Amino acid sequence: MIFTLLIAFFSLIFLVVVHELGHFILAKKFGAEVEEFGIGYPPRFLGKRIGKTLYSLNILPFGAFVKIRGEEGGVEDYRSFAGKPMWQRMSIVLGGVVSFWLIAAVLLSIVAGGWGLPTAVSDEENENLKDPRIQITQIIPDSPAQEADFRAGDIIIGFEKIGDISNFISENKGKEIVLKIKRGQDVFEKKVTPRMTYSQDDGPVGFIITRIALRPYSWAEAPFQGISATFTLTGNIIKGWVLGVKSLLGISQLPEGVKMEMMGPVGILDLLGQYSKMGLNSFLFLVALIAIALALANSLPIPALDGGKILFLMIEVIRKKSVNQKIEQRLTAGFFILLILFVIFVTIKFDIPRIF
């Protein structure tokens, strides 16, 4: 248990370090003086100065940071962040966001070449596939599946082809059947009675299923597949967020069987711990997915995030002068506190009830 938690914890730290490394590399490339690159937060445990940069290992193991000369204003010489051309400053800020996508592409490339990427396949496709399974992708409203609390994402165990489960259901219309379900790491049985009458689109049970398998690629193809999967997952996360916002605003409803749940650091740690027991490929896939989600979240135009810093730089471009440093610092500090409070709220409201 402790070992699993350590793996999960250091995986998150790894992502944060890679993020800060993106800022660090571009700052160095453009000649901005990096005063400190730290893993963890002070008080300092170890430190070594190489050139003008102090590399530190700190006691509070909750992330990493890069301190660039003049990033918070007050210094505008050629070695400072503020003294660099606008495109270089934006590049330095965006370096952290891009690093999340890059590490996701690398991890997905490793998964593609080593095990294979999950892909929707037909019953006829069997060559060069691993671990075929039947997954529920949608629940029809007011159906037996909804009443039995089947959910989108559930895996139906015991069937490798859609035709097999369709025949089994058709042969037992009007009779109670038992399906073995895998939801996350939990495996359990659910009883449901297929309907005698139904529309062609709804089916007797009322769920839509897809056959999914791992499709491995050669190591020559894997990088291209990793990049493609990164773009696809980025689009899927954005669509999910848009759908969630519309649901909150009452503009539209979530599909049946889909539940919107937020997840904070504790929930992410727990999920990483669960996936670490499911095999290295599943674990690396989840880490890549988290990296993409962090890239998108960090791109939001909110002070205290990289997207907020880009927003201030864009305002500077429009106004032809920088935002007052005191105003920027106060907004950043204020939103940072709000983000911390939001994380605490999500942890108490969603993470703790889900885990315990």
Catalytic residue numbers read: 20
Amino acid letter for position 16 = V
> For residue 228, what are its two tokens?
């493609």
The pairs formed by 276-284 with CB atoms below 8 angstroms and a separation of 24 or more are 276/4, 276/7, 276/8, 277/4, 277/185, 278/185, 279/115, 280/114, 280/115, 281/111, 281/114, 281/115, 281/116, 281/214, 283/11, 284/107, 284/108, 284/110, 284/111
